[in-house]
Structure 1
Amino acid sequence: MPNRACESAVMILLSLATALPAWAEDAPQATHVPPPLDEAATIRVLLAPELETTLSSQMAGTLTELRGSFGQRVAKSAPLARFNCSEAQARAKVAAAELAMARQNLDAKKSLRKLDAVGDLEVSMANTEVQKADGAQAMAAAQSSYCQVLAPFAGRVAKVHVKPYQTVSAGTPLFDLVSDGDLKVRLNVPSTRLKHLKPGMPLEVNIVETGKQYPAHISVINARVDAVAQTVELEAQLDNKYPELIAGMSGTARFPDDHE
């Protein structure tokens, strides 16, 4: 019996060994995967405008005129919107009248002082009232200036947040404005490459939307490393102006002289 058991065990092992190639054919085969491209040399980039801002309302009121429109190119100090300023203008008139009255009172006090009819204290108090009224007029003038929204720099309107005749509160976003100046290239690179980077270093920028490559150079290196991501932020400038490029486009950048 033991011999028969041993023979059976040997036969089973031989059958398994014979069937192994069939299993190997059905099993997933390991394939040679080519090494990935050097990700340290290729960096994601974003094109950003030199200046961009969201213009907000500095007063509560109703928009009576909306000149800025989506995509419109505007010059510096061009009017974009105007509010109903009846109340602000009325306050400005009241402030101007109060200032005129305070000055007249001061002149009268000075004349009486020459006649020794009033003391120095009354003249000083009248002078303080003039200063107070002058400040009130300056504040009223500043509030009146909020009635008109002007473009702080030349550029294009990227978004309009409001509609004509809409009543808004102070701080309500009105327009998104981007400058017409040169575009900036923003990118983050691994902090291990920091020792090889310096302003003026060339790089090649590939933009997805155009499918083209553009020469650029590093202009700014951030003074702080992101300890979590272990990257450092850079800004680069394109070597020339390209009309087809606009803010928001993205792509990749490569340092051609980097042989790491």
Structure 2
Amino acid sequence: MMMSLHRSLVSVLISTLGAGALAAAPAAPLAQAKPAAAPVTTAASKTIRVLVAADQESVLASQMAGRIDLVNVKLGSTISAGQVLLKFNCDEQNAHLKMANAEFYGAQQTYESKVKLQAMQSVAEIDVQQTAALAQKAKAQIQLYQAQLRQCTIVAPFAGRVTRLLAKQYASVNIGQPLIEIVNDRKLKVQLNVPSLWLSWLKVGQPFSLKIDETGSSYNAKVQRINGRVDAVSQSIEIEGEVTGNTANLLPGMSGVASFPAAGR
């Protein structure tokens, strides 16, 4: 009996001490929620990166299989429209043309002789028609070889400069093989992507200014073309501009910034 009473007193004492300890312990502070980050906003940019490009550029390829006899230009050479840039060895084509001329001469003589005989009723109409067809065939052969000879020479389709030279003298090339790359450096354009929101005020013919990194100079330009589609990902639209001032020191591939007076409206 005494043992049970002692155990009960000990249990009550432990419970009392535990409750006091809990009451004395300071309450843990509540975690404070961090404020949500405010969205970052920036003012509309008034300058856009631009790229200078040639309005005309072309890669001239071989129209025939053969050996190159002459390369008349070098990398960076200034060229004029109609200038001979390259020549192939065309001894075989020249020989074919001479043969075709001789065949045409013989066929034409035979035809004229048949016509005279027909006037004397000494030859049938079918013979005259056959000789006429042979003469026409020989004439067509001449035109064919003349066309092949024109492919022996590559001329510049427009004035400009040589930007890549892939042809080498005495090298043999195949049909369609690229030989020379040229650009018209006298008529340049600038390419840039502007925010699509600018379409509310941006128009063809609108002036803007350029500052090119490589030259450090400023130039005047105007909007020449506006693309017919907005890029949905970047929300931008591609435009092309024409440099209206002196472009003597500009080269395709240069870059810089364009400034629009109406930007940020």
| TM-score class, shorter | 0.7 to 0.9
Q: Does 1:8 align with 2:25?
A: yes
Equivalent residue number for residue 225 of structure 1: 229
Q: Percent identity?
A: 35
Equivalent residue number for residue 38 of structure 1: 44
Q: For the residues of structure 2 that align with 1:136 and 1:190, how far apart are their CA atoms?
A: 59
Matching of residues 55-204 of structure 1 within 5 Å: 55-204=60-209
| Letter of the 1:160 counterpart | L
Q: For the residues of structure 2 that align with 1:33 and 1:227, how far apart are their CA atoms?
A: 24
Mean Cα deviation higher: 125-134 or 97-106: 125-134
| Letter of the 2:25 counterpart | S
Q: Does 1:248 align with 2:253?
A: yes
| RMSD of aligned residue pairs (Cα, Å) | 2.7
Q: Which runs of 5+ in 1 are unaligned?
A: 21-29
Q: Point out the structure with max Rg over C-alpha.
A: 2
| Letter of the 2:42 counterpart | P
Asked if structure 1 preserves the Cα contact closer than 8 Å seen for 2:62 and 2:175, the reply is yes
The count of residues paired between Structure 1 and Structure 2 equals 246
Equivalent residue number for residue 23 of structure 1: none
Q: For the residues of structure 2 that align with 1:52 and 1:38, how far apart are their CA atoms?
A: 35
Q: For the residues of structure 2 that align with 1:122 and 1:5, how far apart are their CA atoms?
A: 131
Q: For the residues of structure 1 that align with 2:54 and 2:210, how far apart are their CA atoms?
A: 16
Equivalent position SS for 1:225: coil
| Letter of the 1:8 counterpart | A
- Inter-CA distance 228–131: structure 2 relative to 1 (3 Å threshold): farther
Asked if structure 2 preserves the Cα contact closer than 8 Å seen for 1:191 and 1:225, the reply is no
| Letter of the 2:44 counterpart | D
Equivalent position SS for 1:116: coil
Asked if structure 1 preserves the Cα contact closer than 8 Å seen for 2:67 and 2:171, the reply is yes
Q: Which runs of 5+ in 2 are unaligned?
A: 1-17
Q: For the residues of structure 2 that align with 1:192 and 1:145, how far apart are their CA atoms?
A: 52
- Alpha-carbon deviation of 1:227? 5.3
- Alpha-carbon deviation of 1:3? 3.2
Asked if structure 2 preserves the Cα contact closer than 8 Å seen for 1:182 and 1:241, the reply is no
TM-score, scaled relative to structure 2: 0.82
